[in-house]
Structure 1
């Protein structure tokens, strides 16, 4: 009987390994809670400062490495701990019903199953490990001009990876649009990423076109946007950008705002894109489209929102 059971041994290990049933999910939830409660509270700044020998003056460039590695370690450690618990349960069950042919087969089973787990962890987390060690973050957008600006704005902190992805833009507030984009993108990514939504709000029109400026611009162009307010004495407006950031692991979505006040003018300038030509920021005699790209990336609504995101992630990484 034992010899017959021994012939089924490796088949059964694979069957049990791929059984992602409700019991497995419950174990995963339990071990994830353990990670959150105990391991995730390790003072990572001190650990990584020691490992990387980071001095206080050099802390900022390494902060995103710390955050990304922390997310990576949490994911991998949770996965390994889950499967370790699962292996113990399976071994106990196998021994109880006498499927394992002998006590000697138990370590063989554990080694073989652990090898499968390690291979799966490496495969599933290789992109996350690359992002963590290379200080990269993903910008999910189909707009190459927005990506180009974000890359320049964030260049002193980390590299921005371009991930073109068609995301649904729901009818709702800018915050709702960004949150929905984040949730949709997270279903396809497991690395740190951000999305954004920009609005152009005319005070004379009670905030219109707002978050729907993309469709107004497609229909009217910059000149048409100016004509919308040309009959009004009040031509003031403000540009708003909302960035949604996700670490790719938790369900938390962090929102960051950037706002620039100004007014709508007759379009001028050859730089920029979208409605840049008809927006004149306060305290400036140049529209966004008249400014060199470097200048716009210092003062724009997008720059302010992304810098707020940077500051927040840096504070999280340093524990400040």
Structure 2
């Protein structure tokens, strides 16, 4: 497998995925290069949405497809925003409005624990009965004041206490080494090496 389609149009995700797949000599192209329409994500779990996106992209392109579904899960909010992370504040998608809503929801909450979760699914073809599945979790806590210029999404509000930095204060390589997406991609890369 030397070429695959990534079932996403998120520039931040595409950059991170391409960077981690590079050593495997796998060329990854976004589904937008093939005119693939966005896939509905009606499910309440990351894995179901992810599998739907991978199958959708593969069926439209005839290529193996890699999908990622990820979001932030906040303990005090019973795991919300969860699968709704990208659209937490409604349409159109807006990182700024999502972050505002999250901070407002946490007013008065002492428990600020949160984690990013990522699941990745790779299908070789649309009806692949054995998709490769990998996941990662990145633990931290939510702060009220954003810090850092990097990353995307909730990263400026996601503090890593052991580092004293937010996700947005990390360099790309540093973030990929520890992030939920980096963990999931490394697990997926290991599976690709073992199973082809």
TM over 0.5: yes
**1:228 maps to which of 105, 122, 135:** 105
**Structure 1: segments with no counterpart, 5+ residues:** 1-67, 69-134
Higher strand share: 2
Aligned to 1:278: 157
Q: Which of 1 and 2 has higher RCO (CA within 8 Å, sep 6+)? A: 2
How many residue pairs end up in the alignment? 184
* Residue correspondence of structure 1 range 189-200 to structure 2 within 5 A: 189-200=61-72
Secondary structure of the structure 1 residue equivalent to 2:12: helix
Q: Is the Cα contact below 8 Å between 1:141 and 1:163 reproduced in 2?
A: yes
Q: Is the Cα contact below 8 Å between 1:264 and 1:280 reproduced in 2?
A: yes
Q: Is the Cα contact below 8 Å between 1:261 and 1:282 reproduced in 2?
A: no
CA offset at residue 279 of structure 1? 0.8
| CA deviation string 1:129-176 (max 9, x = no partner) | xxxxxx333212111221011111222112322222311111321111
Given the alignment of the two structures, is residue 142 of structure 1 paired with residue 9 of structure 2, yes or no?
Answer: yes
Cα distance in 2, alignment partners of residues 209 and 227 from structure 1: 13
Given the alignment of the two structures, is residue 254 of structure 1 paired with residue 121 of structure 2, yes or no?
Answer: no
**2:114 maps to which of 237, 250, 257:** 237
CA offset at residue 226 of structure 1? 2.4
Secondary structure of the structure 2 residue equivalent to 1:194: strand
| CA deviation string 1:213-266 (max 9, x = no partner) | 111253733243223223101000010011110112633322211111110112
CA offset at residue 282 of structure 1? 4.6
Aligned to 2:21: 154
Cα distance in 1, alignment partners of residues 30 and 52 from structure 2: 19
Given the alignment of the two structures, is residue 183 of structure 1 paired with residue 50 of structure 2, yes or no?
Answer: no
**1:203 maps to which of 75, 82, 103:** 75
Cα distance in 2, alignment partners of residues 172 and 255 from structure 1: 18
Q: Is the Cα contact below 8 Å between 1:182 and 1:253 reproduced in 2?
A: no
Answer with 1 or 2: which has the greater Rg.
Answer: 1
**Structure 2: segments with no counterpart, 5+ residues:** none
Q: Is the Cα contact below 8 Å between 1:270 and 1:277 reproduced in 2?
A: yes
Q: Is the Cα contact below 8 Å between 2:156 and 2:169 reproduced in 1?
A: yes
